[in-house]
Amino acid sequence: MAADKIQDPSRSVGVVTPQVARFAAPLALRCGASLRDYELVYETYGTLNADRSNAVLVCHALNASHHVAGHYADDPANTGWWDNMIGPGKPLDTRRFFVIGVNNIGGCHGSTGPLSINPDTGRVWGGEFPVVTVEDWVDAQARLADHLGIQQFAAVMGGSLGAMQALAWSARYPQRLRHSIVIACAPNLSAQNIAFNEVARQAIITDPDFNDGNYRALNTAPKRGLRVARMVGHITYLSDDEMANKFGRQLKNGKPGYTFDTEFQIESYLRHQGNKFADYFDANTYLRITKALDYFDPALEHGGDLAKALQSVVAGMLVVSFTTDWRFSPERSREIVHALIKNRAPVTYAEIDAPHGHDAFLLDDARYHRLVAAYFERVHGEIAR
């Protein structure tokens, strides 16, 4: 992705600064627990217009954060995770829209989560932090909208787990968004998806440094487990073809060494990804985010009927999938589309022929970006009326 990082300063939102919103009212969670109070870290790009109609909420997926676009003054290399999508002249054009990125509760990038202090004990939450769900995140985000004085978003948008939030928004707060942009999504996880998550969790939980999640207090971290978890996750983000193209069977030293050292380039790549991730990400957050994925299933409370679960939806829906995504295949996106069509809800669906697998939603694919740009052109037309 190095090429995507080369920036045209005129198309960047430039230097950004995270902000913190504090919420004093308790947040009731699906698991039955409630957070007495909480903080959300967020960033904004662009300017909120006078009638507050041009706000777009961008929801993050597994390992990302509120840092969606731009860079920090003291860390210019730390570019936002969706910087290719958001900025002046980009598909989500910050000359027109006021864009908000927010770190979800349970996260490890500043919002209240396992690394925060539990106000009831005065100690780091660690393994005691409750299980959070997509719906909990959406509820917390709705309060952030209140805090920012935004009654209705022009759009809520996300890819993968972020798309699940966009989908949940459309059903849970139908009046509070004009459009929902649901990219590389699924209406719930398949058994195989859950299985991969469970492998990741078991790798973390059985790491002797995990200590029931209370590793911080002991000054340790289950890095070995987190590393394996990231490696297995990473395999599911790339298509088989993309891995073949990028790495194939290339040997690191040109010929087999018959040792347990890194032999193939793909091993080297995965180990690198695993190490990098284990150094910056919190294991308790990773566990909770995989559980949020597992639990997401809007149809469950409606006898498995997704159309019923989405009956409240009035937003314009854009659903996008990628042909080589085997984690959340186009077939899964079509389940969402069919449910919306059954409800006669306004839905646009695009299946993008892209080689990159699930990760395609993060990449600068011309057809994909043109599609999103065109959709936002339409959204802009509506709010400018």
Catalytic residue numbers, as ranges: 160, 325, 358
Residue 81: CB minimum distance to a copy of itself, A: 23
The verdict on 31 binding a copy of itself (CB under 8 A) reads: yes
Q: Pick from 206, 279, 370, 384 the residue near a copy of itself by CB under 8 A.
A: 206
Q: Which is nearer to a copy of itself, 9 or 256 (CB)?
A: 256
Sign of the dihedral defined by the CA atoms of residues 296, 169, 172, 23, in that order: positive
Q: Pick from 39, 128, 294, 351 the residue near a copy of itself by CB under 8 A.
A: 294
Residue 191: CB minimum distance to a copy of itself, A: 4
* Residues between 272 and 291 that touch a copy of itself (CB under 8 A): 274, 287, 291
The verdict on 199 binding a copy of itself (CB under 8 A) reads: yes
Residue 266: CB minimum distance to a copy of itself, A: 4
Q: Which is nearer to a copy of itself, 72 or 269 (CB)?
A: 269
Whole-angstrom distance, CA of residue 385 vs CA of residue 317: 20
The verdict on 259 binding a copy of itself (CB under 8 A) reads: yes
Q: Which is nearer to a copy of itself, 33 or 48 (CB)?
A: 33
Count the Cβ atoms, other than its own, within 10 Å of residue 23. 18
Closest CA to 167 of 69, 62, 59, 65: 59
Residue 315: CB minimum distance to a copy of itself, A: 26
Q: Is 255 helix (H, G, I), strand (E, B) or coil?
A: coil
Closest CA to 252 of 262, 244, 243: 262
Place of tokens 């009326």: 385
The verdict on 8 binding a copy of itself (CB under 8 A) reads: no
The verdict on 144 binding a copy of itself (CB under 8 A) reads: no
Q: Which is nearer to a copy of itself, 10 or 253 (CB)?
A: 253
Count the Cβ atoms, other than its own, within 10 Å of residue 307. 17
Residue 190, strand partner residues? none
The verdict on 203 binding a copy of itself (CB under 8 A) reads: yes
Q: Which is nearer to a copy of itself, 169 or 328 (CB)?
A: 328
Residue 44: CB minimum distance to a copy of itself, A: 32
The verdict on 208 binding a copy of itself (CB under 8 A) reads: yes
Structure tokens at 1: 């992705």
The verdict on 249 binding a copy of itself (CB under 8 A) reads: yes
Applying CB under 8 A, the span of 8-16, 102-110, 156-164, 187-195 interacting with a copy of itself comes to 187-195
3-state secondary structure the chain: CHHHHCCCHHHCCCECCCEEEEECCCEECCCCCEECCEEEEEEEECCCCCCCCCEEEEECCCCCCCCCCCEECCECCCCCCCCCCEECCCCEECCCCEEEEECCCCCCCCCCCCCCECCCCCCECHHHCCCCCHHHHHHHHHHHHHHCCCCCEEEEEEECHHHHHHHHHHHHCHHHEEEEEEECCCCCCCHHHHHHHHHHHHHHHCCCCCHHHCCHHHCCCCHHHHHHHHHHHHHHHCCHHHHHHHCCCCECCCCCCCCCCCCEHHHHHHHHHHHHHHHHCCHHHHHHHHHHHHHCCHHHHHCCCHHHHCCCCCCEEEEEEECCCCCCCHHHHHHHHHHHHHCCCCEEEEEECCCCHHHHHHCCCHHHHHHHHHHHHHHHHHHHC
The verdict on 227 binding a copy of itself (CB under 8 A) reads: yes
Q: Pick from 228, 293, 306, 360 the residue near a copy of itself by CB under 8 A.
A: 228
Residue 34: CB minimum distance to a copy of itself, A: 13
By CB under 8 A, the count of residues binding a copy of itself is 54
Q: Which is nearer to a copy of itself, 148 or 199 (CB)?
A: 199
The verdict on 381 binding a copy of itself (CB under 8 A) reads: no
The verdict on 202 binding a copy of itself (CB under 8 A) reads: yes
The verdict on 253 binding a copy of itself (CB under 8 A) reads: no
The verdict on 83 binding a copy of itself (CB under 8 A) reads: no
Residues that bind a copy of itself in the complex, under the rule CB under 8 A: 30-32, 130-131, 133, 188-192, 194-196, 198-199, 201-203, 205-208, 224, 227-228, 231-232, 234-235, 238, 240, 243-244, 246-249, 256, 258-260, 263-264, 266-267, 270-271, 274, 287, 291, 294-295, 297
